[in-house]
Amino acid sequence: EQARRAAEQAAREAGQPPPPRTEPPPEQAVARNTLVPDPSLTGQFEKLRGRLRLPVAGDVVGRFGASRGEGGTWKGVFIRAPEGTEVRAVAAGKVVFADWLRGFGNLLIIDHGSQYLSIYGNNQAVLRHVGDDVKSGDVVAQVGATGGQAESGLYFELRHRGAPFDPLKWVSLR
């Protein structure tokens, strides 16, 4: 950003038009998801491996364990989706966090029992409150670009005993 501003300033001082602004190219999708959770999915969370669906339809562009452009590695996945898209609970559980959190924006966390959590970040709006019970497929939030995210989409994580694990190994994509 500083280099861009310096180039614009130098162009102005030289009486030339500023250089064209270039946005970084959008991250390449690693998968495309068209399925979303529905109420038919029931049972203990640990027995749902391979049957879960991602919370929104869209392109998966950030993948668990891959390097992040701003440093570090992905602890979940980022699903590119239009702002306002409904975010659905991946399984039944209880909302244990529903608030803004630095780096995650508007964040919702659902406890599915047996120390499994699902995490939904960068939301435009969180539609549930702490203590609410949810079923698979319930709308819990709306996609946004909060928490410093450059593009609209949902950050999604699964955790067991506090440790993140690859959600794509637990979901069915189509």
- 50-67 pLDDT tens trace: 999 999 999 988 776 666
C-beta of residue 122 within 8 angstroms of C-beta of residue 76:
no
What residue has token string 């709308």?
Answer: 139
Band the pLDDT of 172: cuts 50, 70, 90: confident
C-alpha dist (Å) from residue 172 to 11, 53, 55, 64, 97: 52, 6, 11, 16, 26
Look at residue 127 in the predicted model and tell me its pLDDT.
98
- Quote the mean pLDDT of the chain: 86
Over residues 94-104, the mean pLDDT reads 94
Positive or negative torsion for Cα 173, 116, 146, 84: positive
Flag whether pLDDT at 160 surpasses 50: yes
Q: Which fold has domain 26-169?
A: Glucose Permease (Domain IIA) (2.70.70)
41 CB-contact burial (10 Å; exposed 0-12 / middle 13-18 / buried 19+): middle
Domain residue extents for the chain: 26-169
pLDDT tens-digit readout, 12-56: 778 777 666 554 445 566 778 888 999 999 999 999 999 999 999
Helix (H) / strand (E) containing 32: strand 31-33
State the pLDDT confidence band at 9, using cuts at 50, 70 and 90: confident
pLDDT of residue 20: 63
DSSP 5: H
Position 118 pLDDT exceeds 60: yes
The DSSP bridge partners found for residue 67 are: 73
Sign of CA dihedral 157, 160, 164, 165: negative
As a whole number, mean pLDDT of residues 118-134 equals 97
DSSP tag of 34? -
pTM: 0.81
Write b or e for each residue in 95-128: b if 16 or more Cβ atoms lie within 10 A of its Cβ, otherwise e: bebbeeeeebbbbbbbebeeebbbbbbbbbebbb
Q: Which of 123, 30, 126, 136 is nearest to 77 (CA)?
A: 30
